[in-house]
């Protein structure tokens, strides 16, 4: 993980939506690996990322977003620097 402002936004969104400490948000954090990241929270994470980065994430990517690292890849695919 590098220290760019966009990376901070990814961490911020995950931490805020999941109500966890930012220190717990790493690229290896996976969907359903913690109780806070369940199916309902997943949709809130997607909405938070869309708002923060001004993108629309398609359903295939929503389903494929199984980790913070994968979220960064998907955001980059949509033209957002993550």
In a domain, 64, yes or no: yes
How high is the pLDDT of residue 33? 97
CATH code for the domain of 69? 1.10.1200.10
- Which residue would you say has higher pLDDT here, 2 or 65? 65
The sign of the torsion formed by the CA atoms of 44, 65, 19, 13 equals negative
How high is the pLDDT of residue 80? 85
Summarised one tens digit per residue, pLDDT across range 47-80 is: 999 999 999 999 999 999 999 999 999 999 988 8
Question: How far apart (Å, rounded) are the C-alpha atoms in residues 27 and 72?
Answer: 8
Summarised one tens digit per residue, pLDDT across range 8-40 is: 899 999 999 999 999 999 999 999 999 999 999
Domain housing 12: 5-77
In a domain, 82, yes or no: no
Q: How many domains does the chain contain in total?
A: 1
In a domain, 51, yes or no: yes
Q: What pTM was estimated for this model as a whole? A: 0.89
How high is the pLDDT of residue 3? 42
């Amino acid at each position: 993980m590098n220290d760019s402002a966009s990376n901070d936004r990814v961490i911020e969104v995950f931490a805020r939506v999941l109500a966890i400490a930012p220190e717990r948000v790493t690229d290896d954090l996976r969907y359903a690996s913690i109780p806070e990241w369940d199916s309902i929270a997943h949709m809130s994470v997607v909405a938070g990322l869309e708002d923060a980065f001004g993108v629309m994430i398609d359903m295939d990517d929503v389903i494929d977003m199984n980790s913070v690292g994968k979220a960064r890849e998907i955001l980059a695919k949509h033209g957002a620097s993550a």
